[in-house]
Amino acid sequence: MAQDVLCEVKNCKYWAEGNKCTAEAIYVVSHSGKEANHQKETDCKTFEPL
């Protein structure tokens, strides 16, 4: 399991100084609902705007 989760999305409520993510869990999905082959085919569903 990852020790640190980094995030550069400063308008997310889970963003913290040092580009840290403070969410208790992270949920990442593929755009198509199928297996992703590239990073750009995924989204972080944990994101919540400020």
Q: pLDDT tens-digit profile of 5-46? A: 999 999 999 999 999 999 999 999 998 888 999 999 999 999
| pLDDT of the residue at 1 | 78
Token reading at 6: 């980094």
The pTM score is 0.81
Q: What local confidence, expressed as pLDDT, does residue 27 receive?
A: 95
Of 21, 20, 26, 22, whose CA–CA distance to 1 is shortest? 26
DSSP 1-42: --S--B---TTBTTEETTTEE--SS--EEESSSS--SSGGGE
Question: Residues 6 or more apart from 47 whose CB is under 8 A from it?
Answer: 9, 12, 14
Enumerate the domain spans of the chain: 1-50
